[in-house]
Structure formats: structure tokens, C-alpha cells
Amino acid sequence: MHDPNCLFCKIIAGQIPSKKVYEDEGIFAFHDIHPWAPVHFLMLPKLHLPSMAQVTMEHAGLLGRMLALAPQLALEQGCNPYPAGGFRVMVNTGRDGGQEVHHLHIHVIGGPRPWLKG
């Protein structure tokens, strides 16, 4: 599903430019415009889900694939190997969760410290 009013649906559709990290039939990833750290990209399902709060068992395969892809993309984007390196995976959900853009996304944040935040 594509929501014509959703910023991230527009990025996935190429209507708003982004620095793409990865794309397949169900997943899209691009660099965050305000990175917290040397590596900071977002992984999204192409399906418009507003947040983690709407996730059900129906989405288990899709979310599992996203999480399973994160380590490979993190290394490709410049995160150092575990355990000295590593990365942070974050999913802000709802207002109390600090979510600003209401299309489910996984932040992958890493690279050598210091970081700007976090």
C-alpha cells in the first residue's frame, strides 16, 4: 500500500530524492538526512505501515527479513565488526516513543565514536 501523503512512501517511489542504501521487492533503505553517527540509515518496508504498533504476525516474515539484512548493510556502510564495532537498531513508535515519520522504519546507527547523539 502506498500513502500519497507519506514522506517515506514518496522517497520509496522516487518522488523525493534520497541516498539509497538497498532495495528489493519488499524493503527499501536510505541514509538518514540528519545522521546521529558516521553510519545512520533507515530500513523500511515498502508496505505503508504507520508504525510498529500496527505490526502483527502477518508481518513476521517481512520484519524478520529486515532484521536479518541489517548486519550485512551495517558492515557495507562502514560499521566496524562486532564486538569492538557494532551498531544500534532502533524503532521509535508513537509520540511517546519519539516517532516523527509515520511509516515504520528501523534506524541502523553505528561507526566509530564519538557520535552526535545516543
The catalytic site residues sit at 105
* HEC sequence for 3-68: CCCCHHHHHHCCCCCCCEEEECCCEEEEECCCCCCCEEEEEEECCCCCCHHHCCHHHHHHHHHHHH
Determine, following the binding rule CB under 6 A, whether residue 75 of this chain makes contact with ligand 5GP: no
Nearer to Zn ion by Cβ, of 8 and 87: the residue is 8
- Which of 12, 21, 30, 74 touches ligand 5GP (CB under 6 A)? 30
Contacts with ligand 5GP by CB under 6 A lie at 7, 18, 30-34, 92, 98-101
